[in-house]
Amino acid sequence: MQAEIKNALKILKSGGTILYPTDTIWGIGCDATNTDAVVKIYSIKKRIENKALISLVANANQLKQLCSKIPKESLEENPTTIIYDKVRGLANNLLAPNGSAGIRIAKDKFCKELIKVFGKPIVSTSANISGEHSPINFSEISEEIKNNVDYIVNLRQNEDMQTPSAILHLNSDGSIKKIR
C-alpha cells in the first residue's frame, strides 16, 4: 500500500488525476484545491462543470479547515457525504454558485492515508462517463476512463465495491435534509 500511496501522491502533487478505490466505489480523483486538475476530471467524465463533484478529507481536523459547522452525521460509520454551505479552501470550480460543496470523511485505509500524507482534500467522483452507471468492480470501468487518467492505483481491483455514499445537506439553520 505504501508504494501506491507514494505513486498516487506524486501524481496529485503534479496536478494529475488518479483512478482509485474508495470506501464506496472506484473514483477519479485529483487535488481538490487545484482548479486545472478539477477541469481535467470534468473533461475525462465528459461532465458539465455546473454538476458538483465531491471531495474527500482524512479526518475531522481537515474538515474543520474547510467548513465551520460539522454535524455528528459526518462522523458516522457509514460513508456519508455532506453538502456544506460557505466552504473555503477548495478549487472554485468545485463550489456551487452559493459556495456550498459536498465533502466526506474517507473511511478507506488507503484513502485516509493518501489524503493525510498529501495534506489536502482530494476529489472523488465515480469512475464513469457522465450519465453512465457507476462501476461496482474495476473490470467495469471503461477503457476510455482508464486511458485518460494519469495513474491507476493497483489495489482492490478484484473486489466488488459498495454503493455510493449517502448525501445529506446541512442547512444554514442546522437542520439536515437527506438528498440520497
pLDDT tens digit sequence for 136-150: 889 999 999 999 999
Q: What is the pTM of this model?
A: 0.90
The per-residue pLDDT for 144 is: 96
Q: Hunting for cell 461532465 — which residue is that? A: 47
Could you tell me which residues come within 8 angstroms of residue 35 by beta carbon, excluding any fewer than 6 positions away?
A: 91, 92, 93
Each residue of 22-59: pLDDT tens digit? Answer: 988 899 999 999 999 999 999 999 987 777 899 999 99
Supply the pLDDT for residue 60: 87
Distance separating alpha carbons of residues 167 and 121, to the nearest angstrom = 18
60, 126, 128, 133, 176 from 65: Cα distances, Å:
9, 25, 30, 33, 21
CATH superfamily of 2-178: DHBP synthase (3.90.870.10)
The yes-or-no verdict on residue 116 having pLDDT over 60 is: yes
Judge whether 124 and 55 are in contact, CB under 8 Å.
yes
Q: What does the block give as the cell for 67?
A: 467548513
Residue 49: per-residue pLDDT: 77
Instruction: State pLDDT tens for residues 74-89.
Output: 555 677 888 888 899 9
- Domain residues of the chain, as ranges? 2-178
